[in-house]
Amino acid sequence: MNLGAPAKELPFRSEAGHCPRMVENDRILGVDPGARATGWAVIEARGTALGFVEAGVIRARAGAGRPDRLAAIFQGLCDVVDRLAPGAAAVEETFVNASPRDALVLGEARGVALAAPAAKGLGVSEYAANTVKKSVVGRGHADKRQVQMMVRVLLPTAGTLAADAADALAVAICHAHHRGGAGARARRSA
């Protein structure tokens, strides 16, 4: 080993306490957080071309208490990151028009959805629901059926997905459209 030679630039970043991740990795993890069901999806983005990798829904066992549900979300997302190796993550901001208790419970799930990929060393961006809808459908007040239809048009190999997984796929598509732009930088949380 030649200690006098300049350090070779490696194609990954490493931060204290985190595993190195490939910077040029074009895989994006999209997350639609929920207290009972958290959707996730991974896509590959190469320029303007998008490819479906995998999607699913994380659910805690029936009757699980809140700490166990949150742990299931955290572990499930960490497992997805370890297995599919995305280079970035995007999480939908939640909008709750219900009771303060419901907002708190959903906020906890969202916090875990932000923390899990960040704990694995990924940069995490956040997008408002209207931004996700506008990126996928073309208008910010599209309904769920329109979003799911456009997801199937954009990524036909995804097939028919559970609603939470399809929503997560829309979040990943949104990030692919915004990555590197001022909107994604301004919303980056990690």
Which is catalytic among the residues 44, 92, 126, 167? Answer: 92
Q: What is the mean pLDDT of the chain?
A: 82
Q: Residue 143 catalytic?
A: no
- Encode pLDDT of 14-55 as tens digits: 333 333 333 345 999 999 999 889 999 999 998 888 999 999
Helix residue ranges, H only, the chain: 66-84, 100-119, 129-136, 144-154, 163-178, 182-187
- Is residue 164 annotated as a catalytic residue, yes or no? yes
Closest Cα to residue 72, out of 42, 104, 33? 33
Structure tokens at 166: 């399809």
Q: For 77-106, write each residue's pLDDT tens digit.
A: 999 999 999 999 999 998 766 788 888 889
pTM of the shown model = 0.81
Please list the residues that pair with 127 across neighbouring strands.
92
Is the pLDDT at 182 greater than 70, yes or no? no
Structure token pair of residue 145: 């059926």
Give residue-wise pLDDT tens across range 110-152. Answer: 999 999 999 999 999 999 999 999 999 988 888 888 888 999 9
Residue-wise DSSP of 70-98: HHHHHHHHHHHHHHH--SEEEEEPP---S
Of 32, 44, 126, 167, which residue is the catalytic one?
A: 32
Copy the structure tokens of residue 76: 């499930």
Q: How many CA atoms lie within 13 A of 26 on its CB side?
A: 11
Task: Give the active site residue among 26, 44, 126, 164.
Answer: 164
Angle between helices 100-119 and 66-84 (to 10 degrees): 30
Residue type, 37: A
Question: Residue 139's pLDDT is what?
Answer: 82
Active site residue 79: no
